[in-house]
Amino acid sequence: MSYPLQQTVTAEAPETPCIETSKLSAYYKSKQALHDVSITIPENKVTAFIGPSGCGKSTLLRSFNRLNDLVDGFRLDGNISIHGQNIYSPDVYVPELRSRVGMVFQKPNPFPASIVDNIAYGLRLKGIRKSTMIHEMVEWALRSVYLWDEVKDRLNDNALSLSGGQQQRLIIARAIVMQPKVLLLDEPASALDPIATFKLEQLIQNLKDQYTVVIVTHNMQQAGRVSDYTAFMYMGKLIEYDLTATLFTNPKERLTEDYITGAYG
Amino acid sequence: MSSAVEQSPSAAPYTLDSELPHQRHLRKFRDILTKNLVRLGGFSIIAAIALIFIYLISVVLPVFFPADTKLKADYPLPSPAAGDTLFLSIEEQLEVGLRVTAKGQAVFFNAANGTDIENYSIPVPESAQITAVANIDSAEGIIALGFNDGTALFIKHHYHIDYPQDQRRITPHIEYPYGETPLKINPGNSTLQLISAATGNDELVILAYSDEKKISASVFNKETSLFDETVTLEHDSTSLLLNNANRPVGMLIDPELRWAYIATDEDELYVYRIDEDLSFFLNEKFALNPDGGKLTDLKFATGGLSLLSSNDQGHIYQWFQVRNKKGEYKLHKIREFSSGSSSISIIEPEQRRKGFLTINEQQELSVFHTTASRHLLSEPLAGKNIKHAALSPRADAVLLEDAGDRIYLYKIHNEHPEVSWASLWQRVWYESYDEPEYIWQSSAASNDFEPKFSLVPLTFGTIKAAFFAMLIATPMAIMGAIFTAYFMSPLMRGWIKPTIEIMEALPTVILGFLAGLWLAPFTEAHLPGILSILLLLPPAVLFFAYLWSRLPVEIRLFVPEGWQAALLVPVTIAVGWACIALSPWLETHFLGGDTRLWLDQALDIKYDQRNALVVGIAMGFAVIPSIFSITEDAIFNVPKHLTNASLAMGATQWQTMTRVILPTASPAIFSAVMIGLGRAVGETMIVLMATGNTPILDLNIFEGMRTLSANIAVELPESEVGSTHYRILFLAALVLFMMTFAFNTLAEVIRQSLRDKYSKL
């Protein structure tokens, strides 16, 4: 490999920074998954992480809400701050952090409960019991993901009876109802058909007005369609990070170019 | 990274032929074979269970069949010249019948066809006539004859069985247990109209009603000769019980010589208490049929404890002595039987069971059983106006003589009269008990014992043992499983889980042995310690956890994540040791030095060494692995994406556990508990060895119990195959089977509905 091991990539980011990492290295037991990743993710934009399988993009994403903490043998060096707050400092209350940094997974994972209960889950975790408040919040969240009209007549049906695309939007509503600052989407469309994917992408476009969205995807067209910024990762390193338009049309790195032209991956 | 693009090969290295027909057939054959083998296996299991079920039912069912009867023979009176019959009898093998006649003849005849076998002349005194006959002891074959000169003679009919040329031969004899000379009973030489007698070890007591309307009780001392075992009687005393009495319908003295009953045709019953020195005291006098009806017969049920009285309205009442609150014995009406509205002329009690038969004036034979309160049979008879009835010793045949001088032999098939729904599941008033109770007591030393077949104490014992075992096992197993599956480090889990699972392989006989021989005495000796462990250990663990959470982070980090549970091992041992060590101190300072005495006196709680606490701990130990293992698997296998979803929403681990993991794993946890319960209900060895096997109905944790399974294990080896007892043990097995069946079905139904709710994961 002809690339230097250490590489500092900085994107031009005139926007307000939201998530900043510096010299982030992550390990699963002895295996290093991230190598000195420093990235600044702007607020109210969609940032996509692309790269081949195993490149560390999901590890990076899951570090933003400390979901990796529960993985046996996971260790992290370096710094991550969200809105200037170091999220790995000992005085951070992790459940509170996670409710501020919502996450959507690859496979829709509704709880085996009603649609309402799924969305109300997070509210109830916070001790909210007032049913009028819960109902208004549920309606708002479902409207935010354009699901309200589809499910308003069967709010008490089991969420598992929804289609895959509806489920995934439900999951986003479930995250949104917590009023997070950041939404982390981990390959949210990979289990969906093209129409559901299209709807989801439209939704993501609209979400960035209120949320900072970080999306991990295998699908470069998707990254091109939905994101404002794109980071290309390879073997645990951040190779290139730029405006999406720039990165796709005029990549600075050969590796990036090979990847986005489909030479490997 | 040079030329990262790989060239895909143009052609596969081999070309695959399409499958040959025989290969295709082979594959298809294997497919069908496997499918059918699996199907066969499934059906075999269902068939095996069904067969067990059918077999159990087939053994149990005869218990509930009614009796039936069939006329076997009828023939004219044998030796009619010997005179009218006074007494009729049939021996055990149903071969030889006996009639004692008014002319003093004992006529033995073939019971099957009426041909004469042998005639004995009874040495009736010259110029005397037989005026009274009494059946004194059916089992011994002793009858008493009273004469018109105030004397009485005891005769005994006896059957000698031998096997010349391997053929059974029955030779009847008449013997005279108290000599051939009649006893002088009435000083006044008046005619004996009715007599009755009972023999104790050293005494013979005779009740006699003379034509002077006097009822007297005469006591004779028995003296057995040292040389030839002949018994001679010596008159001791005679006391007049009633002067100017109405004619008695029945006079009875019980074989223990404790009570005498005289019932007159004016419906009065005189109850006499007999003292140790054989003096008579009138204990009660009352009307037997206060609601109308005329007394027609009075007999003892076998054993002489229960009195059976019949009236002309078809009712039979059972009475026995019951001690009231003041400690006085009063005759109490226990049960009523009815054979229709026709007057009952004869009551004939069975000799070996608490049953009896009656014959009424419509010539109907009815069979009853007292304990089971069962009316087993009512069947019209062939003869007209039956005068005499003799029930065979095994109660399998009855010999009847009617007014037309014909003898009828009826076979009676009545194998299991002792059992009824009421005697199995309801309170039954047994002889010598002060009130109706649930009692299991299947056998005793004496022959005329009343078997007590209540399944209630056994079912209760089963549930009690299972309840206390589950009380101890369920929280420990489930909480342990939650911690192991979700919070423990994988390395520690790798040790803990197989260790607990291997506990399941421990033979329960060893657990029972340890529980009965070590834990039970240990618990008895250290009861305050054991109880304080149960009370103190949970708060001690919580307190330690709180202290731990207050320690500086540096110290806490010293113990790796998921290993904190190991810290509790010394805490548990220390608390346990301290409690046991403090036990004697607690006992001396707070419990008056003796816990058992204190429990009894201060709290009125009885303490049994082998009790439900010991069983609960031992059986809990046996049940924990089943529940733990299934629960742990269920919790561990809750899909990661669900827990991640919950955690990503900002739930704490505990919130995730209670709101996502436990509901999702609940069907399996529920089955785990039910499987544990099924095991606790069916468990035999531990309860057999650690409960004391006392079939009592008491929720007290310090008392023992007897379970259905232990009862079967204890009693089946010693019960006679095909007997009522044997069949009831099978019924107990069936109840056990149905209990586990019900538990498992319920568990499966609930599990299925829970699983439907969580199925699409």
- Taking CA–CA distances from A96, the nearest residue in chain B reads B650
Beta carbons of B650 and A70 less than 8 Å apart:
no
For residue A122, give the nearest of B5, B641, B650 by CB distance: B650
- Taking CA–CA distances from B641, the nearest residue in chain A reads A109
Indicate whether B65 belongs to any domain: no
Distance of residue B748 Cα from the nearest chain A Cα, in angstroms: 20
The string of pLDDT tens digits covering residues A191-243 is 788 888 888 898 888 888 889 999 998 888 888 889 999 999 988 889 999 89
Indicate whether B715 belongs to any domain: yes
Beta carbons of A112 and B758 less than 8 Å apart:
yes
Distance of residue A171 Cα from the nearest chain B Cα, in angstroms: 9
Beta carbons of A263 and B660 less than 8 Å apart:
no
- Taking CA–CA distances from A184, the nearest residue in chain B reads B648
Chain B residues near residue A97 by CB distance under 8 angstroms:
650
Chain B residues near residue A99 by CB distance under 8 angstroms:
649-650
Decide: B252 and B261 in contact? Cβ < 8 Å. yes
| DSSP class of A65 | T
- Taking CA–CA distances from B664, the nearest residue in chain A reads A112
CATH number, residue B576: 1.10.3720.10
Decide: B340 and B358 in contact? Cβ < 8 Å. no
| DSSP class of B760 | T
The string of pLDDT tens digits covering residues A169-189 is 899 999 989 889 899 999 888
Distance of residue B468 Cα from the nearest chain A Cα, in angstroms: 35
pLDDT of residue A3: 38
Decide: A172 and A145 in contact? Cβ < 8 Å. yes
Q: Are strands A182-186 and A212-216 parallel, antiparallel or unpaired?
A: parallel
Distance of residue B552 Cα from the nearest chain A Cα, in angstroms: 13
CA B711 – CA B730 distance, rounded (Å): 11
For chain B of 761 residues, list the mean pLDDT of each consecutive stretch of 10: 57 78 87 95 95 93 91 91 91 92 91 90 87 88 89 91 90 88 78 86 88 87 78 83 85 91 89 90 89 89 91 92 90 91 92 91 92 91 88 92 91 91 91 91 80 92 92 93 89 90 88 90 87 89 89 79 82 91 83 77 81 90 92 90 89 90 88 89 88 85 88 91 91 90 84 71 49
Q: List residues of A whose CB lies inside 8 A of any B CB.
A: 1-2, 65, 67, 70, 72, 90, 95-100, 102-103, 105, 107, 109-112, 121-122, 125-126, 158, 160, 171, 174-175, 178, 255, 258, 263-264
pLDDT of residue B595: 76
Beta carbons of A112 and B664 less than 8 Å apart:
yes
For residue B650, give the nearest of A72, A110, A125 by CB distance: A125
The single-letter code of the amino acid at B407 is I
The string of DSSP letters for A5-47 reads: S---------SPEEEEEEEEEEEETTEEEEEEEEEEEETTSEE
> B597 has which bridge partners?
none
Q: Are strands A46-50 and A229-234 parallel, antiparallel or unpaired?
A: parallel
Q: List residues of B whose CB lies inside 8 A of any A CB.
A: 1, 4-5, 489-490, 553, 639, 641-642, 644-652, 655, 659-660, 663-664, 757-761
Indicate whether B746 belongs to any domain: yes
Beta carbons of B648 and A125 less than 8 Å apart:
no
pLDDT of residue B758: 66
Chain B residues near residue A263 by CB distance under 8 angstroms:
4-5
Distance of residue B476 Cα from the nearest chain A Cα, in angstroms: 26
- Taking CA–CA distances from B655, the nearest residue in chain A reads A125
Beta carbons of A121 and B649 less than 8 Å apart:
yes
pLDDT confidence band for A190 (50 / 70 / 90): confident
Q: Are strands A31-42 and B386-391 parallel, antiparallel or unpaired?
A: unpaired
Indicate whether B672 belongs to any domain: yes
Beta carbons of B760 and A112 less than 8 Å apart:
yes
Chain B residues near residue A214 by CB distance under 8 angstroms:
none
- Taking CA–CA distances from B661, the nearest residue in chain A reads A111
For residue A1, give the nearest of B1, B651, B758 by CB distance: B1
Name residues whose C-beta falls within 8 Å of residue B641's C-beta, 6 or more positions apart in sequence: A105, A107, A109
Indicate whether B387 belongs to any domain: no
- Taking CA–CA distances from A261, the nearest residue in chain B reads B5
- A-B C-beta contacts closer than 8 Å: 80
Q: How far are the Cα atoms of A63, A93, B37, B644 from residue A89, in angstroms, in the given order?
A: 13, 9, 62, 22
- Taking CA–CA distances from B5, the nearest residue in chain A reads A263
The string of pLDDT tens digits covering residues A103-138 is 998 888 898 889 999 999 989 988 888 889 999 999
Name residues whose C-beta falls within 8 Å of residue B387's C-beta, 6 or more positions apart in sequence: B85, B401, B402, B403
Beta carbons of A72 and B642 less than 8 Å apart:
no
Indicate whether B302 belongs to any domain: no
The string of DSSP letters for A213-226 reads: EEEE-S-HHHHHHH
**Structural domains of chain A, with CATH:** 17-260 (3.40.50.300)
Q: What is the CA radius of gyration of chain A?
A: 19
Chain A residues near residue B4 by CB distance under 8 angstroms:
258, 263-264
Chain B residues near residue A172 by CB distance under 8 angstroms:
none
| The pair of three-digit structure tokens given for residue B244, joined into one six-digit string | 């100017």
Tell me which H or E stretch contains B280: strand B280-287
* Total count of domains within chain B: 1
Decide: B439 and B429 in contact? Cβ < 8 Å. no
Beta carbons of B760 and A109 less than 8 Å apart:
no
Indicate whether B494 belongs to any domain: yes
Would the ipTM clear 0.95, i.e. be above it? no
Name residues whose C-beta falls within 8 Å of residue B469's C-beta, 6 or more positions apart in sequence: B615, B616, B619, B620, B622, B623, B680, B683
| The pair of three-digit structure tokens given for residue B131, joined into one six-digit string | 């005026």
Decide: B646 and B660 in contact? Cβ < 8 Å. yes
The single-letter code of the amino acid at A160 is L
Which residue range is the domain that position B641 belongs to? Answer: 456-757
Beta carbons of B649 and A72 less than 8 Å apart:
no
Chain A residues near residue B664 by CB distance under 8 angstroms:
112
CB count in 10 Å sphere of residue B606: 14
pLDDT of residue B586: 83
Interface mutation vs chain A, best among B489, B561, B649, B659, most A CBs within 10 Å:
B649
| DSSP class of B426 | S
> How many residues comprise chain A?
265
Beta carbons of A125 and B490 less than 8 Å apart:
no
- Taking CA–CA distances from A175, the nearest residue in chain B reads B649
pLDDT of residue A264: 66
Q: Are strands A46-50 and A212-216 parallel, antiparallel or unpaired?
A: parallel
The single-letter code of the amino acid at A196 is A
